[in-house]
Every structure is written in C-alpha cells, then in structure tokens.
Structure 1
Amino acid sequence: MTQAFSDDRGAPTALRMRVGARLRRYRLAQQVSREDAGWHIRASESKISRMELGRVPFKERDITDLLTFYGVEDDERQDLLTLVREANTPAWWQSLSDVVPPWFTSYLGLEQAASMIRTYDLHFVPALLQTPDYTRALLELSCSSSQEEIDRRVSLRQERQHVLRGTSPAVLWAAVDEAALHRQLGGPEVMRRQLEVLAEASRVPNIRLHIGSFRADALAMAGLPFTILRFAEPELPDMVYVEQPTGATYVDRPLDVEQYALAIDRACAAAAPPSRAASAVEAILRSHTPAQQQQLG
C-alpha cells in the first residue's frame, strides 16, 4: 500500500496510462498505424488503442515485441518494462473489491492517476474532503450494508484522499452548494467537525473550493453530480465520471467533456471564489449555536 501513495501515487491505472502514452509516442515516431502494430503482436487495432489509453493490463511479451518493432532499445526499453511490471501489480483497493461496485473500480484508478480533479455536487460535501463520521452517516442513510461493510467503505474513502497529499498531489476544484453545508448529516457534532475540516482544507494550496450561495441558480442548473479528471500526460483525454444509483457513465468524447466543463465553469463563476471559502465555512460554523444545534438535532 505504501507504493500506492508514492510520488506518482503508484496506482496501477496511473502507471498503465504512462506506459500507454509512451507506447503511443513510440508508435507515432515510427509512423506506424495502430492496425500494423496490432498485426505485429497478433492483436486487433482496438487492443492497441486500449493499451495506449492504459485501460487493459499488459502482457510483457506484447510490450517486448512492440518495443522491438518501434526500435526502442537499451535503458529506455528496460525502464518501460519495469513500469509494465509495476503496472501489473494489484491495486491497493483490490482487497476491498467485494464492497466496491463493479462500475466504480475503473474510477478509482483514474482518480489516483489524475493531476486535476474537478467535482460538482449539489447535495453533499465532496468525497475527497469528507470526514470518516460524515461518510459513515451518508452511507448509513443511502445503503443497507452491514456495519462491517460500511466500515470498509469508510476506510476506502479515507484512503482515496491520499491523492490530495504527498509530494505531487492532485489539484482539487470543488463546487459545493451552501445547502450541503447546512444539512445536518449525522447530527450537529458530526457536521461541526466536517465543517472544521472543510475550512482547513480550503486553505491548502492544491484545494480550491467554490461555495454556491442559496441565491445562486447556476449550481442547481448543472444537474447530477459529476467529476472531471485531467491527467498529466498530454496525450490522455480528459474524462468525465457521472454516477447513478445502479451504474456509472464514463465520458471522454471532447465535445461532451466540454459541455460538462462549461457547466462546472458556470457553477464556479456563480459561487464564492476559493479565497472566500474558509470565511464562508466559518460563518456557517458560527451560525450553528448550541440552541440551533439542539433544535436541528
């Protein structure tokens, strides 16, 4: 698990994406088509595409044959093969796979690989900024899992938050509606601690929090919660993740991604800027007097 939170966060998906991007660079440098590359390793053009996007595990033999075909030798060749072996190592979240929906496992890898995460949620504090007690209260409200399963899912969400720490953390842009910060999820004490953590997080350089006022309509117009992921490798397209109760949609078509980006841009423009996030959260904290907490609780 330590490797999962190294400088590149060690996520197998992140490593696969790096390998795939380099394979694409080597192929284009030699002016080789995906079809020809696929034929060389007895595979289809679509498999080469999936390999270059880092969406499938690698067979070392396939990589060796492609590197020979592309004329990659010596240290550069060995460096990439080392990355391939690391990328094929099981992800840290595999031990929790029994409590993770099938459609969510791909997102976990993409999130760990992202250099920028832009997220919008009208109803709740962003997952990457939630306290354990807030997450537990949310899960107890939204699912019928056993207490043990809920504990493991809480642990998973806390582990995910390492993506915002370390020597090369991702940048988080989050648009949150003010109503989510007034909602007493888990009770007054749970919410008070969550707001304290949120205020602290808003001062972290790589976390930019936009809080939408009750009076702003732009956040509500954005629709369902969604997340836009951007990656350090310029060859990799931005990805949008939209989750529903029984599944999820992954969007990477540029025109579609642009529409989601415009929606979150409008939401952020209508919200308070990150420089005012801490004071906005602290004002909500101050408004929660003991009398009000007792009444709301």
Structure 2
Amino acid sequence: MATNAVVARRRLAQGLRRYRQRAGLTIEDLARHLECSVAKVSRMETGISGIRVQDLTAIVNWIQVTDAERRDLEELVRRARGREWWQEFGDLVPAGAGTFYGLEDGASTIRLHGTSLVPGLLQTRGYAGALLGSMNGTDPDVHARRVALRMRRGRVLERSSPPRLTAVLDQAVLYREIGGPEVMADQWRHLLDRAAGAGVVVRVVPFAAPPHPADGLTFTIFDFDHPDLTAVVYAEQLSRNTFIEEPREVGVYEAALARAEGAALPADESLELIDARLRALG
C-alpha cells in the first residue's frame, strides 16, 4: 500500500481518533485541551482538514502515545503535506478528484463494477482519447493532458507491488464501440494482456444473467492493508460523485458487488468472451 498524501491524511485522522478513544477521552475533552472548537477536532479526526505540527504535539503529549506511535504520526503529518503526481492536473478535474486519485494510488485492493465503459485503469490511450474527445469544444492541449492523466492513473498496475484489481463488467461494455474497430481491437488486446498477469481479474456479467442490486450502477470499492483504514466506496452519479465511508453503507455496496460477481461468468469464460469480441473485429 502506497502512503501518499491522501492516504497519510486518512491514516493520521483515524489513528488520532483511535488513540483518543484508547485514552478514554471524548472529542469535547480534546477540544477543551486544545482550546479550540469541537468542530475543529471533528474535522481533524475525519481528515477534512489537516493537522498542524503544534496541534499534533499538544495531542500526543496529552494522550500519552508511545515513542513509536509518535514517530509514525509525525511522519504522517509530513507525508500529508507532500505534493503528489495528480496535482499537476488539478486544473482539469473537479474539486475532490485528488481524493479519488489518492485512494486509487494507495489502495491495496480495488474492486469495481462498470456498466457501459472500460474502467479508466484498464483503458488504452486510443480508447481514452476517443472517449475524452467526445466532449465538444475541448481545446486540443486540454484533451491531450486529460488523456495523459488517464494513462498516468494506469501506471499503478505496473508497480512492483500493484493493488489487486477486480473488475466486474456488464456485457454491454463489450458492445459499446468507442473510437472505431482498430481502437476497440487494441483495447481488447490490452484488457486480455492485463487479465493474463497476476493481480487483475476481469469478469463479465452476461446479458442472460438475472437482475442484481448493482445493475445500472458504476462504483469502486477501495480497500487498504492497514488497521486504521477502512474501505471507501466511490459512487458515480449523474449530478455528483460521492465518497462513502460509513461501514453500514459500504456494506450495502459490498453486498451488491458480491451479487454481481455471483451473476458473472468465471474469469476464464469472461476472457473467452472478450477474445471473441476481439476476433469479431478481424
């Protein structure tokens, strides 16, 4: 698991909450000690706002963490302030997108459900270029940088210790033509190559499958190999995209994805279906 700025901020926030609770203190107790509002402490413990070094020092001195825990927290404060690769694309994406890229970059496991498009992490340059080029009036330079951003995201799967990726796709994805036959043929070859390697599983829900709770939904579940980090769901909606962290709500998405996996073809049969689409393109 990569500890980038986004992951560091979440680890820091949840770690402080755990240590406070271990000490038997409430948020109100900590707010009184810091001489600040309860809202400020709440924002620190949810990762909404950063934590200043002086606040961290005051907190850890009071709740009596071990030397090792203190060093870990201090390192997380430093990392939370670091500059990450996606910040150079900040002018291209909406507010909050950095959180998505950070979770994607730092997750140990990525599980997703898609209904009509190849997931961004698995897209080729040609597919991404055709898809992003569908926006009318886009400046060529902006378009090129959007494609570069999409390709940069995919490099997470090329790391020495990449996240484990499971993509459950509706069969409709295989029939949605983006950019023409050559682009699609290259895309299917790329998808087959990725799925042939370790750590990437692609499964297809066939048209004949019974309905399931994830039908029509596109969402991603990020998991992390650290006790302070719980799963996060990124749900794509028409008017806005949402991060879901409340365990009960996350569980609803996990159950929906499990039902979709239950309706999907096994991985080998799914790849045969993708290969058939490739061969159909000549």
- Summarize the Cα distance change of 1:143–1:12 in structure 2 as closer, same or farther, 3 Å threshold: farther
Aligned to 1:240: 233
- DSSP-derived class of the 2:220 partner: strand
In 1, the alpha carbon distance for the partners of 2:39 and 2:171 equals: 45
CA contact (8 A) 2:11 2:228 kept: no
Aligned to 2:95: 102
Structure 1 position 229 matched with structure 2 position 231: no
The aligned amino acid for 2:86 is W
- DSSP-derived class of the 1:218 partner: coil
Structure 1 position 54 matched with structure 2 position 37: no
- DSSP-derived class of the 1:102 partner: coil
Q: Tell me by how many angstroms 1:246 deviates.
A: 4.2
Residues 210-258 of structure 1 show CA distances to partners (whole Å, capped at 9, x for unaligned) of 1121222436962231112222233433222222344212222333222
Q: Tell me by how many angstroms 1:131 deviates.
A: 0.8
- DSSP-derived class of the 2:254 partner: helix
Structure 1 position 35 matched with structure 2 position 28: yes
Aligned to 1:173: 166
In 2, the alpha carbon distance for the partners of 1:147 and 1:80 equals: 44
- Summarize the Cα distance change of 1:96–1:52 in structure 2 as closer, same or farther, 3 Å threshold: same
Q: Tell me by how many angstroms 1:142 deviates.
A: 4.3
Structure 1 position 23 matched with structure 2 position 4: no
Q: Tell me by how many angstroms 1:156 deviates.
A: 1.3
CA contact (8 A) 1:218 1:266 kept: no
Q: 1:257 aligns with which of 246, 250, 253?
A: 250
- Summarize the Cα distance change of 1:75–1:213 in structure 2 as closer, same or farther, 3 Å threshold: closer
Q: Tell me by how many angstroms 1:157 deviates.
A: 1.5
Q: Tell me by how many angstroms 1:103 deviates.
A: 3.8
- DSSP-derived class of the 1:174 partner: strand
CA contact (8 A) 1:177 1:219 kept: no
Aligned to 2:191: 198
Q: 1:78 aligns with which of 71, 75, 82?
A: 71
- Summarize the Cα distance change of 1:142–1:121 in structure 2 as closer, same or farther, 3 Å threshold: farther
Aligned to 2:6: 13
CA contact (8 A) 2:214 2:257 kept: no
- Summarize the Cα distance change of 1:202–1:39 in structure 2 as closer, same or farther, 3 Å threshold: same
In 2, the alpha carbon distance for the partners of 1:247 and 1:286 equals: 38
Residues 150-175 of structure 1 show CA distances to partners (whole Å, capped at 9, x for unaligned) of 21111112222233332432221111
Aligned to 1:119: 112
CA contact (8 A) 1:53 1:236 kept: no
Q: Which runs of 5+ in 1 are unaligned?
A: 1-7, 290-297
- Summarize the Cα distance change of 1:165–1:57 in structure 2 as closer, same or farther, 3 Å threshold: farther
- DSSP-derived class of the 1:176 partner: strand
In 2, the alpha carbon distance for the partners of 1:132 and 1:101 equals: 22
- Summarize the Cα distance change of 1:10–1:257 in structure 2 as closer, same or farther, 3 Å threshold: closer
CA contact (8 A) 2:2 2:107 kept: no
Q: Tell me by how many angstroms 1:180 deviates.
A: 1.2
The aligned amino acid for 2:249 is D
- Summarize the Cα distance change of 1:255–1:28 in structure 2 as closer, same or farther, 3 Å threshold: closer
- DSSP-derived class of the 1:227 partner: strand
- Summarize the Cα distance change of 1:147–1:208 in structure 2 as closer, same or farther, 3 Å threshold: same
The correspondence of residues 141-152 of structure 1 with structure 2, limited to 5 A, is 141-142=134-135, 144-152=137-145
Q: Tell me by how many angstroms 1:201 deviates.
A: 1.1
- Summarize the Cα distance change of 1:19–1:110 in structure 2 as closer, same or farther, 3 Å threshold: same
CA contact (8 A) 1:199 1:277 kept: no
CA contact (8 A) 2:213 2:259 kept: no
- Normalised to the residue count of structure 2, the TM-score between the two structures is 0.90
State the identity %.
Answer: 37
- DSSP-derived class of the 1:214 partner: coil
